[in-house]
Structure 1
Amino acid sequence: MVDAKTIWGYAVLWDTSTTIANEFREKFAKGSLTRSIAEDDVRMLLDHDSGRVVGRTSSGSLRLREDALGLRYEVDVNLDTPDGQSLAGTVGRRDVSGISPSFIVRAESWDDGGSRLPLRTITDARLVEISAVAWPAYPQTTAVMRSTTAAANDAAAKSRIAARREAMRKRGML
């Protein structure tokens, strides 16, 4: 039997913007990934490296679902592999705590931003993969090792998300 741990979190938070290359702001609209979740075989990687697959929706080791906050994921990490050990170790120690989605935009809308940077709202996208990364473009994403009590783990992650959102709101980033 393969030894495994579960890592979970949010790869995307709805209606939460980030600045891309100091050129524009970007956010995902609620439901923008619904079609992709139903149709696409999404992978989870380490640092966007296609040679370091740690989960996949078609195998059932990666599970994706949309909820009121955003795109939630769970990945069963295989501790019999070096990449699984790296993922579990770095997330478990909180050295890696964010997720970066790789996607292809199918539909979007733009707001010129007025005195701020323009805002791109993604309304439909094909999710190619999600990666555990040290510096996510969306800093409010999360990667958390599942504790023995899932409810406590969920509450802690939601608390961290709320604190990150509040800090970003105070800085005028939302």
Structure 2
Amino acid sequence: MLWGAHSGGLEVRTLPDGETRLAGRFPYGSATELRGGPNPRREMFAARAFAARIEGGQDIHLLANHDFAAPLASRGAGSLTLTDTDSGLEFDARISAAMREVSFVRDFLGTLAAGLVGGISPGFGVPDGGEEIRREGDGLLRIVHRADLVEISAVTKPAYPQAQIEARAWELTAPARRNLTNPRQRWRA
């Protein structure tokens, strides 16, 4: 699974019944610089890149910092709504008053209230033929046309660490690709 990131904001509201609502958006069509310098590498998601899994109804989770041990909401539990539009992936999550009593949820909401969490980062895999890599000026641009969304996370720092960029196998040609699932070969936000 690969992870992408965006510095888009989260909207947080706590309702009178104690339920907390989180809403956020991951934009399409907006290139992100993954590596600068003389050979920059940028990435962009095409419109509705996540449409297949969203429209297919698969269970997708909202996590704190890509940690499946820290689920905040899910489609399967009925607490996460995902909307895929031409301009971006939007979500609305409901964290019940009872969930707010869980220690990792309290910790997450505390860091969120302190302004330490504010980015959105999807966890995804790219199927064969789902991406295009092309030359753009002195660097490369990766356009993700289709991706299998597994989770979306609220993250502290929505950026791709340079140490793992090369795991993406940037090539101008488009040979058959394999999904990278080894934790050392993931993009992290």
| TM over 0.5, shorter chain | yes
Matched length: 135
Identity of matched residues, %: 30
Contact 1:41/1:58, CA 8 A, preserved across alignment? yes
Aligned to 1:44: 62
8 Å Cα contact 2:48/2:89 also seen in 1? no
Q: Encode CA deviations 1:73-132: one digit per residue, 9 max, x unaligned.
A: 1111231212222232222332211111111012011221122x2111111100111111
* Higher radius of gyration, 1 or 2: 2
Specify every segment of 5 or more residues in structure 2 that has no aligned partner in the other structure, as ranges.
Answer: 1-16, 161-189
**Partner SS, residue 58 of structure 1:** coil
Segments of structure 1 that go 5 or more residues without pairing to the other structure are 139-174
SS across alignment from 1:36? helix
* Displaced runs of 4 or more, over 3 A: none
Q: In structure 1, what is the equivalent of residue 43 of structure 2?
A: 26
One-letter code aligned to 1:122: V
Question: What is the RMSD computed on CA atoms of the aligned residues?
Answer: 1.9
In 2, are the aligned partners of 1:28 and 1:122 still within 8 Å (CA)? yes
Change (3 A) 1:47 1:69: same
Asked whether 1:108 is paired with 2:123, we answer: no
Pick the structure with more helix per residue.
1
Please give the residue correspondences for 1:1-174 in structure 2 after superposition, counting only pairs within 5 Å: 3-10=18-25, 12-22=26-36, 24-39=41-56, 40-77=58-95, 78-106=99-127, 107-115=130-138, 117-137=139-159
How many angstroms does 1:54 deviate by?
Answer: 0.9
Aligned to 2:109, the other structure's residue is in SS state helix
* CA shift for structure 1 position 21: 4.5
CA distance, structure 2, for counterparts of residue 129 and residue 96 of structure 1: 17
